[in-house]
Amino acid sequence: MMSLSIKWPLGTMSFLLSSLLILLSLSLPSWGQSSETTSPKASDGTPFPWNKMRLPEHIIPGHYDLMIHANLTTLTFKGTTAIEITASQPTSAIILHSNQLQISKATLQKGAGKRPSEEPLRVLEYPPHEQIALLAPEPLVVGLPYTIVVEYAGNLSENFHGFYKSTYRTKEGEVRILASTQFEPVAARMAFPCFDEPAFKASFLIKIRREPRHLAISNMPQVKSVTVAEGLIEDHFDVTVKMSTYLVAFIISDFKSVSKMTESGVKVSVYAVPDKINQANYALDAAVTLLEFYEDYFSIPYPLPKQDLAAIPDFQSGAMENWGLTTYRESSLLFDAEKSSASHKLGITLTVSHELAHQWFGNLVTMEWWNDLWLNEGFAKFMEFVSVSVTHPELKVEDYFFGKCFDAMEVDALNSSHPVSTPVENPAQIREMFDGVSYEKGACILNMLRDYLGAEAFKSGIAHYLQKFSYKNTKNEDLWNSMASICPTDGTERMDGFCSRGQHSSSSSHWRQEGLDVKTMMNTWTLQKGFPLITVTVRGRNVHMRQEHYLKGADTTETGYLWHVPLTFITSKSNSAHKFLLKTKTDVLILPEEVEWIKFNVGMNGYYIVHYEDDGWDSLTGLLQGTHTAISSNDRASLINNAFQLVSNGKLPIEKALDLTLYLKHETEIMPMFQGMNELIPMYKLMEKREMNEVETQFKAFLIRLLRDLIDKQTWTDEGSVSQRMLRSQLLLLACVRKYQPCVQRAEGYFRDWKEANGNLRLPSDVTLAVFAVGAQTPEGWDFLYKKYQSSLSSTEKEQIEFALCTTQNEEKLQWLLDQSFKGDIIKTQEFPGILSAVGRNPVGYPMAWQFLRENWNKLVEKFDLGSPSIAYMVMGTTNQFSTRARLEEVKGFFSSLKENGSQLRCVQQTIETIEENIRWMDKNFDKIRLWLQNEKLELL
């Protein structure tokens, strides 16, 4: 699944607004194990025979026959589920999941054959655990085949999970209804009674009843259609491969589709509402190319005959990897060649590559339980980078990928972070796993491992893992064992489960000498939270290294965590990367000769930050100000990031970090520019919420002076590489929002022409965001944008307008936006988390966003689910730029009052910790920034 907070917004508005203007940090909770009631009572008051959240393991499902009949007029559905089971120990209670289903009948069939005997089962329900018990008159016989048949009914869900209702408006304004599914992580049980845990894999035979005007699609191709009554058709789909319940999917709609075949004969189709099917071609071509790439990379053919990609009008996250029928938010799949921006194209490509990677990582091989969700999500995130850099080299995904690691570190540097692999039990805890640690950190540590093992050895290890565990479930260690059984192809040999070299190995490969214990090394990255800070002290030719757990805040206590850190470095004398595996608290390496500077973490491949003691930072700042291109753009970005991280924990004065950013006057590359903006913009965002007007104004002026040369060089066109175009979009937006007059005047001219042409003039898509943001500052401009929003068929354009509407300084309009998007008529409710967070970043709107969250908390939890990434996104988006004690008390007071409806959420702990850090940071650094801004050095800008 592509998580919303993580994905939001990958359209234009977008892409970096998450970390840039919207500065999002993501997160999740760690409440204790739920207390298991000793003797739970079923809803009819009788004792319920099972008291644990997890299902018993002694009933094993093998196959489901599922018939679903949805009525899109009454918004209800009926179903019959027949599940073939066997028992591994005698029991008369069959425990499975069911949530909000009305069960009318349950029977047990014994044995196989034409006429099995049938007996009724008594049904008990235990809603707190979303479980039912089917009680047989006598215990099941071990090893004998049984079938349980359950007849039930339910309402189509009004939120975004289970079997839910979605609507769209045609060009003519008619509202049409469809029904779609979103089962991950725990909502298959809302559509049919089932053993809804990832390790209970089974095959599924699905039949869907529908009206003739509709079309039904599911995981497998349709094999036949029969008319069961007048105006009622039953579609039969082929039997699926063995898979987890959360991957089952079916959609009943009037979608249209376009299709192509891959070289190996897989039929790929994109489905969308009829008015938008002309926007499906880009994703279709990308899906064909990516599917072919993965078949080759993993050395395993895609096992199904088809792969459908469906754009759903209402969708909470970014996308979902249901096997053979991946589903997407429209903005994550549909590409309008006229209006979509460069970042939108990148976003769609990455999302499709993510979901298709899951067809192997996640679907073919699945984590045993949600504690190892990162085996699905970290891998799919990482494979976005691996695949797209090969299939779409023009998108230059490597310019953008490593910023994800900085995003993950923002959260992982908090004490409230969690290990990549972490125990979870109840549904809210499970939903909380879909966060920046499972996705981004997971991807970053895999990238570090690939850099360490070498790309070919890594690829062999993955192929070995996927082949060995196909159609099975795995734990963390299964992956490391597969990796360790593969040796690099550079003269190493297998010895006792390690890869080792002969004595002649070169010093540049220090980390291979002692043999390769992948499992021990990677356990240090997945079983403990956080990441290391490496402090480097150069004494002549000796380089002393020391590692410690990096935590934000200066007064943090030493945790004693140690990592196996695959260090890489370059020096003023050698620009090829040297390698050193640091396994202890301290170590020393000896250089062949003395150097002027040394830079660790080459290309940002490692998940750690570095502090250079003595004059180490001064020499690197000097290097950037002299010849910044002596090191790569990724290396420059990591220096900017690390310097500000070190300000947070008191190792580096804020003045030195700010001095380092002055070189950005000469920078032109996307990664260091974005990183600079990511560090500097939050400083004035904190000031905006503290009414520090004078310094805030000076700081904003400094930022524009710093970037002015590059802003002035931007053409108002769609020329250049994807990276250049994304940089242009953000620079012009920043300049216009900061009221840099040359930018504002040009944007006003464009907006005037666009408005006079009734919105039919084609604007360069890279500058549209800036033009709309300027246009939205007048009441007439804002109203015109909203009018265009209602009729637009382009997801990019709608996202751009949405963002622009949120930048108004008119409080009434901001309040109206919150009310409208929450209601969901014209602006869909799926857009609400983004709108709430954008208003929460608005200097005028932030108090009302925070107020809105508090007043509507219960309804938000009902709609978006406790623990979901959407809830985390809204909590962080409305509160994590506060930096006063009064606001901190407000936040603490509100969330503690929620009790079990939110006080335990990890995002709440994270936002409280972030606000405390903001207060400390501002108390310590504000006066220093004020004095630094008066420095004569800045006169030269």
**Tens digits of per-residue pLDDT, 26-46?**
333 333 334 444 789 999 999
Check whether 560 has a pLDDT greater than 70: yes
Measured distance CA(933)–CA(941) in Å, rounded:
12
Hey, is 907 helix, strand or coil? Answer: helix
Averaged pLDDT, 449-472: 95
Residue 80 pairs in a beta bridge with: 67, 151
Cα dist from 364 to 120, 186, 247, 356, 482, whole Å: 36, 19, 11, 11, 16
The predicted-structure confidence for 38-88, as pLDDT tens digits, reads as follows 789 999 999 999 999 999 999 999 999 999 999 999 999 999 999 999 999
- Name, in order, each residue with C-beta under 8 angstroms of 670's C-beta and a sequence gap of 6 or more: 399, 400, 633, 723, 724, 726, 727
Token digits for 46?
């009788």
Question: Of 324, 344, 326, which Cα lies nearest the Cα of 334?
Answer: 344
Hey, is 737 helix, strand or coil? Answer: helix
CB distance 164 to 180 below 8 Å? yes
CB distance 711 to 704 below 8 Å? yes
Predicted local confidence at residue 507, as pLDDT: 39
Averaged pLDDT, 466-492: 81
Measured distance CA(193)–CA(188) in Å, rounded:
8
Check whether 22 has a pLDDT greater than 90: no
pLDDT above 70 coverage of the chain, percent: 91
Mean residue pLDDT across the chain: 91
Predicted local confidence at residue 936, as pLDDT: 66
Averaged pLDDT, 194-207: 98
Residue given tokens 């999302």 in the structure block: 351
Check whether 665 has a pLDDT greater than 90: yes
pLDDT band for position 15 (50/70/90)?
very low
Token digits for 177?
């209804």
Token digits for 474?
């795995």
Active site residues: 355
Measured distance CA(113)–CA(410) in Å, rounded:
60
Check whether 860 has a pLDDT greater than 90: yes
Check whether 634 has a pLDDT greater than 50: yes
Check whether 505 has a pLDDT greater than 50: no
Check whether 531 has a pLDDT greater than 90: yes
- Name, in order, each residue with C-beta under 8 angstroms of 622's C-beta and a sequence gap of 6 or more: none
Hey, is 746 helix, strand or coil? Answer: helix
Check whether 480 has a pLDDT greater than 70: yes
pLDDT band for position 556 (50/70/90)?
low
pLDDT band for position 555 (50/70/90)?
low
Averaged pLDDT, 117-145: 95
pTM: 0.93
Length of the chain: 941
The predicted-structure confidence for 809-839, as pLDDT tens digits, reads as follows 999 999 999 999 999 988 999 999 999 999 9
pLDDT above 90 coverage of the chain, percent: 86
